[in-house]
Amino acid sequence: MRALTVTPGTKDSLRLEEDFAEPAEHEGGLLVEAVAVGVCGTDREIIAGDYGEAPPGGDRLVIGHESLGRVVEDPTGRLEFGDLVAGIVRHPDPVPCANCAEGQWDMCRNGQYTEHGIKALDGFARDRWRIEPEHAVKLDRSLGLLGVLLEPTSVVAKAWELIDRFVERDPWQPENVLVTGAGPIGLLAALLGKQRDLDVHVVDLATDGPKPQLTHDLGATYHSKPVHELGFAPDLVLECTGAPPVVFGVMDAVGPCGVVCLTGVSTGGHQIPVDAGALNRALVLENNVVFGSVNANARHWKAGADALAAADRKWLNRLITRRVPVEHYREAYADPQAGDIKVVVEFGER
Ligand SMILES: [Zn+2]
């Protein structure tokens, strides 16, 4: 069968192997036929040789952590032939730490977790894959290819769950949210904000392409200007750019008792001047919460599947701006093109 593999640590080693071994029984009882994988920045970092780890005993890694497949067989009988599923990316560390022991591997304390397509577990960019049935999340069949959006949606669902916990601390309830960055994570964060009946504002540099209209069609407000020029203090912020000036800008801009969730991963090495004393004073005097959030556990994956099932299919479909057959994988993993939001690699029947 076909598999997209890399040699981790070697730049530009991505290739389509035609005779890759069928998934081994020890990978899990659930056998799945691939429909598609989503492409994201982590994949490009792995292809650049900056990231990624092969499974123990080998030097190749199957990439692809944003999955969608159809069930071929489930020995537990929970899933039926043809059910649409996505595979949960992270698995608990073997120790396990206190969090992994309770199924909260997204909060792993020792870093010894494994991740499909990223860290010591083969990914989903292959014709067939196996996973433990409890690590597969069922999707509404009517979503079709749109189910490939579940992994980024799970990340956003976790961010929202944590925001909910922080806003429970006082009687006041937030009315608006500012989302910075209108990429897949930002737009999905905005979608979940609308599903919570919030007044949603999205900030992004783009003035053309699909982002302004997608935001508008969600019933949200699009701004292409710096955060400090917005003219209002947001109650909540979901920061999805990782760009240092934006990160510090939203901490400064958030309103009293406001909560800032940071989800963007910065590359580091960029220095910007910050008045740390003024920023600290503003955060303290306004009882602000600033926190980071990454990855997702089973509860968030299920919440993400529910959010997608409740979303407008035509709107979701516009998030997938390019569909590339696996034979043309190089087009999908090359540098992003203007207007790209989510690029997916499709696996035809094989
Ligand atoms: Zn752990």
Q: Cβ(67)–Cβ(43) under 8 Å?
A: no
What domains can be seen in the chain, in order of their start residue?
Answer: 3-138+319-346 (3.90.180.10), 154-292 (3.40.50.720)
Q: Which pLDDT belongs to residue 270?
A: 81
- CA–centroid distance for 301 within its chain: 10
**Rounded Cα gap, residues 101 and 92, in angstroms:** 8
Dist. CA 78 → ligand 1 center (Å)? 27
**Rounded Cα gap, residues 34 and 147, in angstroms:** 12
Dist. CA 292 → ligand 1 center (Å)? 17
Residues of the chain above pLDDT 70, percent: 99
Return all residues near 228 (Cβ < 8 A) that are at least 6 apart: 249, 252, 253
Dist. CA 303 → ligand 1 center (Å)? 22
Q: Cβ(241)–Cβ(180) under 8 Å?
A: yes
pTM: 0.96
Dist. CA 115 → ligand 1 center (Å)? 12
Per-residue pLDDT averaged across 64-92, rounded?
Answer: 97
Dist. CA 100 → ligand 1 center (Å)? 4
pLDDT tens digits, residue range 79-130? 999 999 999 999 999 999 999 999 999 999 999 999 999 999 999 999 999 9
b/e for 180-217, b at 16 or more Cβ within 10 A? bbbbbbbbbbbbbbeeeebbbbbbbeeeeebbbebbee
Q: Which pLDDT belongs to residue 266?
A: 82
Q: Which pLDDT belongs to residue 105?
A: 97
Per-residue pLDDT averaged across 62-88, rounded?
Answer: 97
Dist. CA 77 → ligand 1 center (Å)? 29
pLDDT tens digits, residue range 12-21? 999 999 999 9
Average pLDDT value for the chain: 96
Q: Which pLDDT belongs to residue 269?
A: 81
Predicted confidence (pLDDT) at residue 310 exceeds the cutoff of 80 = yes
Q: Which pLDDT belongs to residue 271?
A: 86
Predicted confidence (pLDDT) at residue 23 exceeds the cutoff of 60 = yes
Q: Could you check whether the bond before residue 96 is cis, i.e. omega within 30 degrees of 0?
A: yes
Q: Which pLDDT belongs to residue 166?
A: 97
Q: Which pLDDT belongs to residue 268?
A: 79
pLDDT tens digits, residue range 272-302? 899 999 999 999 999 999 999 999 999 999 9
Dist. CA 2 → ligand 1 center (Å)? 32
Q: In what order do the strands lie in the sheet with 3-6?
A: 15-17, 3-6, 61-62
Dist. CA 58 → ligand 1 center (Å)? 23
- CA–centroid distance for 133 within its chain: 21
Both tokens of 112, joined, read: 């010894």
pLDDT tens digits, residue range 217-233? 999 999 999 999 999 99
pLDDT tens digits, residue range 157-195? 999 999 999 999 999 999 999 999 999 999 999 999 999
Dist. CA 121 → ligand 1 center (Å)? 16
Dist. CA 295 → ligand 1 center (Å)? 13
Predicted confidence (pLDDT) at residue 320 exceeds the cutoff of 80 = yes
Q: Which pLDDT belongs to residue 108?
A: 98
Dist. CA 203 → ligand 1 center (Å)? 35
Predicted confidence (pLDDT) at residue 350 exceeds the cutoff of 60 = no
